[in-house]
Amino acid sequence: GAGVSQSPSNKVTEKGKDVELRCDPISGHTALYWYRQSLGQGLEFLIYFQGNSAPDKSGLPSDRFSAERTGGSVSTLTIQRTQQEDSAVYLCASSPRTSGGEDEQFFGPGTRLTVL
Amino acid sequence: AQKVTQAQTEISVVEKEDVTLDCVYETRDTTYYLFWYKQPPSGELVFLIRRNSFDEQNEISGRYSWNFQKSTSSFNFTITASQVVDSAVYFCALSEMNYGGATNKLIFGTGTLLAVQP
């Protein structure tokens, strides 16, 4: 079946603008995750969704970052008033279950965000 | 605190050489899971293996093998007879067992870039 998809694949924006990044998880996967991959910081966890709720938002770097998930499926990560340090690849992952921690996470191809 | 350390930033080998990628982890939990992911130049992370903290058996899958040692908090990955297609960044990651689903986040190491030269 289809894997995790993300759009856009690339996004170039100007400092101060808002951006929305989209993730379509694997159908039926209850858990959804956002991570960020940047040169200086490696792969960092941002937020975890269990269905439509987010019990762990501990990785969101500032209040400019927010995310939502609707219908237990699609998720949108929004970055307001983008800064140059937000430039990174944003990765989305999904997994079948929401408890246990043992499930493999299936990753999407990522969205490369460049803030000029 | 949870932490994963991959001390080798880059490794370069010649095809057919064996190579071991090191991973050392820290956790206070007694139940946890360890993962290896591969990120080829195309960018998409590919799952390789999962290990739980109660299973210290080594595992072999084709040219890949994993050595899990709780005594040294290590989960090392060996590629035997490396091939050019093995060139990628390899990430080790840790997930703690959680009850009630409070979080399932992965804590990643910084990755090891493996370059296999022909």
Per-residue three-class SS string for A20-36: EEEEECCCCCCEEEEEE
Residue indicated by tokens 């910081």: A41
pLDDT at residue A100, rounded to an integer: 66
- Residue B107 backbone phi and psi in degrees, to 5: -100, 115
Q: Is A63 on the interface with B (CB under 8 A)?
A: no
Q: Is B117 on the interface with A (CB under 8 A)?
A: no
CB atoms near residue B80 (< 10 Å): 14
Q: What is the pLDDT of residues A94-111, one digit of tens each?
A: 998 766 677 889 999 999
The predicted model gives A14-39 an average pLDDT of 95
| Chain B residues with CB-CB distance to A95 below 8 A | 104
pLDDT at residue A24, rounded to an integer: 97
For chain A, the first-to-last Cα distance in angstroms comes to 37
- Is the Cβ pair A42, B110 closer than 8 Å? yes
Q: Is A40 on the interface with B (CB under 8 A)?
A: no
pLDDT at A1 > cutoff 60: no
Work out the burial of residue B9: count CB atoms within 10 Å of its CB; fewer than 13 is exposed, 13-18 middle, 19 or more buried: exposed
pLDDT at residue B57, rounded to an integer: 82
CA distance A20 to B38: 27
CB-CB: which of A31, A99, A110 is closest to B100?
Answer: A99
Å from A15 to nearest chain B CA?
25
| Chain A residues with CB-CB distance to B101 below 8 A | 50, 55, 98-100
B41, A109 contact by CB (below 8 A)? no
- Mean pLDDT, chain A, as a whole number? 93
| pLDDT, block means (10 residues), chain B with 118 residues | 93 97 93 93 91 86 93 95 97 80 84 96
| Chain B residues with CB-CB distance to A105 below 8 A | 47, 104, 106
- Is the Cβ pair A43, B105 closer than 8 Å? no
Å from A62 to nearest chain B CA?
18
Q: Is B101 on the interface with A (CB under 8 A)?
A: yes
- Is the Cβ pair A48, B104 closer than 8 Å? yes
Please, which residues 37-76 of chain B have a Cβ atom closer than 8 Å to chain A? 37, 42-47, 50, 52
pLDDT at residue B77, rounded to an integer: 96
Q: Comparing C-alpha atoms, which of A1, A9, A17 is closest to residue A90? A: A9
- Is the Cβ pair B104, A95 closer than 8 Å? yes
pLDDT at A39 > cutoff 90: no
